[in-house]
Amino acid sequence: MREELKWIKTSMGADMTDPRKNSSAAGEQDTPKTKGMNRRELLGAFAVGGAASLAAPAVVRADEKIVWKMAMSWPRNVPGVGVNAQRLAEMITAMSGGRLTIELFAAGELVPPFEVFDAVSNNVAQMGHATPYYWQGKDQAFHFFTGVPFGLTAAEHSGWLYFGGGQELWQRAYEPFGVLPFYAGSSGPQAGGWFRKEINSLADLQGIKMRIAGLGGEAMRRVGVNVVLLPPGEIFPAMQAGTVDAAEWVGPWNDLAFGLYKVAKYYYMPAFHEIGPALEAIVNKEAYAALPEDLQELVKRAVMASATESYADFTYGNVKSFAPLLEKEGVELRTFPDEVMRELYKASEDTLLEISQGSSLAGEIYQSFMSYRKEADSYAREADLAALKMRAMVMGEV
């Protein structure tokens, strides 16, 4: 039936972005058996095909040209996040020879930054670029796929997703929303934030207003911080206006670009809450299913390539920005006291346990993640951590 009718043809653009716009104006594909039929006759012929045809997904022809909208949570051209979202859009467009063109929309251009998930779920945008904890209000278990305090490094996290069952769990978590997730890279270890005053004890955190996202924000709230969640573009104005007393964003590269050193001088590293936080590229599941198989694979592999490129970009940018931030801008580098870290760890672990009790799936995700984290930590102590200590020792840095 599908071969005869080919009713699913769409024109470039509007019809793929909003299913409500699919009509005769969008253009059904004529075949020898359907040529001359009006829209009502065509739909009637389709109905004769029965329930089996109705349930089958609409698949775009192999030579069809498709336009997808990608909404992102980042301002345009922001280092690391905005730039690599743009690269991903261009990569898919180029690798597909224009068969699948990705139009990029920065935060606020199509939807507000915290509404990207809903836009993809509702097919307002077919693709999105953001991070899972922005949608924590839908399901707290989303946190496991983005940034867990004292959690996984970027390499460990990708290992869990690709080979440890994490991807399958992630897909199940997003399934009720009609959204398909893909890992899109990491910033690597982030900074703990910018503070106007030094943090020497837990008492110094009491009552301060801090912009901090994800489970790190919940841990800070539990130790007495007034947590504020702001989109990236609002962080500097809030610090400048005194709306918040402290803020975390990403790391030296992005923080330098955002000018946060101008509004606070105490810079805490590393972040306890984002050791290897994940970016995501999300896709409307029905739109993805409608692609020919080769374009489905192309999207999947392009995001994997972008994940590697993004992590490399962040690493290089942070390395190059670290010294100028300290030497040219007069920033004072600090680390959180051990007392503070122990209390934040306890608060974080309590939160994770509570999340695990929210549903059977959350419990399954929790068990998988925590078991892998324990194994990863055991290995890292004798591998990554030991190697870095060794290098620092022979280079005279300790």
Enumerate the H helices of the chain as residue ranges. Answer: 2-5, 14-17, 39-48, 51-55, 81-95, 116-121, 154-163, 166-174, 214-222, 235-241, 252-258, 285-289, 293-327, 338-356, 360-382, 384-394
Encode pLDDT of 131-141 as tens digits: 999 999 999 99
Residue 266 DSSP SS3:
strand
- pLDDT of res. 58: 59
- Among candidates 117, 138, 118, which has minimal Cα distance to 129? 117
Helices (H) and strands (E) in the chain, counts: 16, 11
Residue 314 neighbours by CB distance under 10 Å: 26
Q: How confident is the model at residue 21 (pLDDT cuts 50, 70, 90)?
A: very low
Residue 329 neighbours by CB distance under 10 Å: 14
φ, ψ at 56 (rounded to 5°): -70, 135
Per-residue pLDDT averaged across 206-216, rounded? Answer: 96
Task: Answer for the pair 10, 60: CB distance below 8 angstroms, yes or no.
Answer: yes
Q: Percent of the chain scored above 90 by pLDDT?
A: 82
Q: How far apart are CA 96 and CA 306, in angstroms?
A: 15
Above 50 in pLDDT, residue 41?
A: no
Above 50 in pLDDT, residue 15?
A: no
- Which residue has 């009713």 as its token pair? 7
Q: How confident is the model at residue 77 (pLDDT cuts 50, 70, 90)?
A: very high
- pLDDT of res. 59: 62
Encode pLDDT of 78-117 as tens digits: 999 999 999 999 999 999 999 999 999 999 999 999 999 9
Is the pTM here over 0.85, yes or no?
A: no
**Mean pLDDT estimate for the chain:** 88
